[in-house]
Amino acid sequence: MDRMCLTAATKKGEQGFTLIEIMIASAILATGLMALAASVLYAQRLNIVASETHQAVQAARSLVENMRGQDFRNLYIRFNEDPLDDPNGMDTAPGNTFAIDGLAGLGGLDAGVITLDLDETALETDLNGDGDEIDTIENSDVESTYQLLPITVNITWRGQAGRRTIRISTRLSSETL
Ligand SMILES: [Ca+2]
Ligand SMILES: [Ca+2]
């Protein structure tokens, strides 16, 4: 009698899993797995973005350190965008762009771009120490007399998460070299 009851109960339990229930359970499982996969992918993407950004910041810092170790007086003409004024002849200086291994710039261009701004009026800063803040390259000789050199480094790259940019600004001073 007991055996018969057990068999009946087991059969009843087996009958409880209908096709619809299995489909619902599978759908719930699939949804959970998709959410898990999405969060794993998201975390991987965050890691990649963090790694790319770290690389860009390091590249900008090492460029500035590299510039700090060079002849201060020639920094402007060596790292501006004009190849004609390079101290050792046309187009012999690094110029205002630089490539970074592993970070592809947009449109095949170098990822790194250096901007050296010697416009005292725009910056409201006396860059050459002559007591005024109205000198520009156009109307005076700031280019050859600057004591402060404002540097902005922009790094723009096409990364795993699309276009990314970082910017680092600093000033090099003749007195600290
Ligand atoms: Ca130059
Ligand atoms: Ca000045």
pLDDT digits (tens, 9 = 90+) for 38-81: 999 999 999 999 999 999 999 999 999 999 999 999 999 999 99
Query: What letter does residue 100 receive in the DSSP assignment?
Result: B
In this predicted model, which residue has the larger pLDDT, 171 or 7? 171
Dist CA 71 CA 149 (whole Å): 12
For residue 75, which ligand has an atom nearest its CA? 1
Residue 91 has pLDDT above 80, yes or no: yes
Average pLDDT over residues 131-150: 86
For residue 139, which ligand has an atom nearest its CA? 2
Q: How much is the pTM?
A: 0.79
Dist CA 77 CA 115 (whole Å): 12
First to last CA, the chain: 100
Gap from CA of 149 to ligand 1 centroid (Å): 15
Gap from CA of 83 to ligand 2 centroid (Å): 25
Residue 93 has pLDDT above 50, yes or no: yes
Gap from CA of 116 to ligand 1 centroid (Å): 11
What pLDDT is stored for residue 1 in this prediction? 46
Instruction: Name the residue ranges covered by the structural domains of the chain.
Output: 2-176
For residue 89, which ligand has an atom nearest its CA? 1
Residue 4 has pLDDT above 60, yes or no: no
What is the maximum alpha-carbon separation in the chain?
Answer: 112
